[in-house]
Amino acid sequence: MIPVPLLVCVMGGWCAVYLADTLLKLSSTHRIRYESWLASRGLMLSPFHVRWQTTMFNRLFAYCARINPRAQYLWFNSGLAFGVVSMAGSVVLLAKTLQQTLAQMTADDPRRVGGQQALQVVVSIPGVNLPTSQLAYFFMALLLSGVIHELGHAVAALREQVRVNGFGIFVFVVYPGAFVDLFTTHLSIISPTQQLRIFCAGVWHNFVLCVAALAFLFLLPFLLLPAYSTGGGALVTEVVQGSAADGPRGLSVGDIVTGLEDCPVSGVEDWTGCLSRLSHAPQTGYCVPGASLQPIFLFVLAFKRLDGTMDCCSNNSLTDLCFSYMKLQGKNSREREYACMPVRKMVSGTQVCRVDGDCVDGHAAHARVDAGHAHGVCVTPSLENQTRFIRVTHPPNTHMLFVGYPPHLQYAVSLTNFLPRFGFLHLDLPVFLETFCKYVVSLSGALAVVNSVPCFALDGQWMLNALLEATLVTVVTDRQKRELIGFFLLLAGSALLAANVALGLWMVTAR
């Protein structure tokens, strides 16, 4: 569901803007001066849409179009080839995505379809599947992707002797974008191949921006090497208030996590991998002295949970936890027993184990364990099936002890691979660069794919029309027939894109 406060703010803001615009245009006193002010600044207002257009960048576009003509010829021809390939590829990708999304909606296990990760068109809605803390990254990356896209069109048009009337930026509801205004008369008299170079330039530049951001993201550890190091752990940059990781004995901003149980953590990838492994592996055990176990009295309080597991700490203590272990009953028989123990005192700093034999050294290990647990016993937290007890190592502090569903720990903490070498360095600089690059890769790549689709009102419409004029003119000589072929192809592409977006929007809002 879309948050009601966000919807009210957006609708209220646009209604106020449109109402003020309408009143000023109806006013006999202010109408002429107001319309002159809008025109002089290149502003246009309509319901849920505002745009600004200027000619101040025309000289910059002309200068860029004159740089190394031969290299630019090769550059935009490469863009033409990419555009044609991406047009076909986007249709195949969207068809596969639609098929897998439908299969995902009807499958018993929606996470996997046919043994492969299901594709899905993700519609980003602020406040729904886009956190408010990430809105700045989203809008900046979207605006940058749009500007680079239109820059490609403008430079390509000037190279083909098509005049650029102006460049502009718009906001539709809450989404920013950019556009260039080309002189249509010039555009209509050049050859289809020249048109194709202009129309393909946008998606080509989006693809190049996506690759550049991906390369920058890959090289970021080397670029920041003089100021930040990597590989020494995962640095905590944010802890969600009230979460399982918050509190006096939890994690704090600036802590460096180096391990989860016996799984070493040298970076964020290790943190994610360790949590995934601990989620699916059996609960880790811990070596404790046998003399500390007192099962007889406490076993009376044990009861079975609904999932079949046992709980022997029925007082719901925040400091005690129920542990299970194997106790020798006869010469060759063992029986599982339970003990409620102060968890921090018993397991902090102790080694992990799977069986009692892991808790002793030497050849007489089993004999010493069996003799009344004199040396050490492997005890395992008795928890519900999906719940895990995890020790988080973040020196020089004592272990943070977590009891719960491991993914909750992942959502409660934000981390980065970059550790500042000097105290005055800001923790968030690498996070900002890393997050921004990820958004640029995602959004610029998405714009390249979406604009390549042969769909009405997108670049794909003009790319397809120019391609048909360039390739079918000798095969289908009647222009009306070529336009009819183009219309049906555009209709199919529009339906394919609309179906993907509709299903993606439905799945986002339904969750």
E-state strands within 283-399: 285-288, 303-304, 310-311, 320-328, 334-342, 352-353, 377-381, 388-393
CA angle in degrees (0–180, nearest 5) for 358-364-370 = 70
Helices (H), 27-68: 31-40, 58-66
Q: Going by C-beta distance under 8 Å and a sequence separation of 6 or more, which residues neighbour residue 195?
A: 160, 187, 462, 466, 469
HSE value, Cβ hemisphere, 13 Å, CA-based, for 12 = 6
Distances (CA, A) of 202 to 87, 189, 208, 459, 469: 13, 21, 10, 8, 20
Catalytic residue of the set 150, 160, 337, 434? 150
Q: Mark whether 150 is an active-site residue.
A: yes
CA 388 to chain centre: 26
List helix spans (H) across 160-267: 184-189, 192-223
- What is the Cα Rg of the chain in Å? 32
Q: Which segments of 240-350 are extended strands (E)?
A: 256-257, 259-260, 263-264, 285-288, 303-304, 310-311, 320-328, 334-342
Cα 35 from Cα 5, distance rounded (Å):
33
Residues identified as active-site: 150
